[in-house]
Structure 1
């Protein structure tokens, strides 16, 4: 499928989705917000894809919402509600990203700001180049953080650091983001693409369903009791027991060979 704002390909079991508005710092316009869910749906439907790599062309991951487009469409009109684009586009996109039945990696070069920061951090594992940076820019323009930021950041970095980043709008460089626990890994900029792709490919080679269920358990754990969480773990273990990948793991163990998982 051809996209106006994205490039997509599948290689080594990874659906690579590339934000492709480099001249606009990959600002999230309406076309991109329509196309990203379509690309994620296509990745899930592709039997050759068992992980997703979300990356961007140009010098920034994403500068956030395309304010030029928003102003042009009447953002300041009295009858325009700023929450409506969130309800219609951003919120379903983040929920879809968090609910995929396969692991998702993002590769962040340059700035990920505003909703672009939320998008970059909504995945399972984030790899950033040393020039990468994250900014909750909302307070600088009189808005509250959105696209899941107030859910994601406190769970990743803790309340104090997350709230400080949101209130001040301070740019958080990649190394500090790694120290805070916002991201998985910082690498030299020249190694970003290879490292992120290698990570995504390694996840694609693992038991896909078990990885997706692991994410669901971790997300549920933020609001569950220990007893409730352990009950959920037991239920998911029952489900894992009936997957082909678990059977392959047992056979490989008995045959003293590495397992070959197929994501089923």
Structure 2
């Protein structure tokens, strides 16, 4: 009954060690391919598949390092030669490594296929037009709008308090001036998604300033009419009436 217990058990340490050494070498080598692909593709992550006579190899990479290298043979189950888990069993790894050289050559052919890609691309480009003059004119107009809006804010501050907003309709569009103290916080044309001619984030785009600048005088006229109405109302108040 105890005869079998005396038989020596074959150890697998040597096989596992050789498997682990080979898997580590493959990870390092495939990592070089992953970094080259990341440089070529211009991204931190991606994947590429390379076909060989023995099957197909899919290399997935992230941050310039290999995430996994999978071999799909013509027959049989897929083999993750490199993965985030433990290395494959020795026999599947041996089967995959028999085709590994063909995978590397397929990758090299892929890279060589790009040779001469930019041969006909000229390094000469048209001169870029400057926007300096256009922006300077835009800023000049916006500064004038800001000056008049600050003047309006000062008057509104005196009459309506430290902060608030004044609105008027010009050419069928609602204009809103918000003030704080003697300074205009913003001038918005349209609703909440409208164009901010003035704001803390800077002026509107030049085409928008050009489109709306001609309506600024009408907005100021509406404000002046508003002030005149207020003055007329104030004139009707008498101390005796209080």
Provide the TM-score with structure 2 as the length reference: 0.21
Larger Rg computed on CA atoms: 2
Larger relative contact order, structure 1 or 2 (CA cutoff 8 Å, min sep 6): 1
Between structures 1 and 2, the one with greater strand share: 2
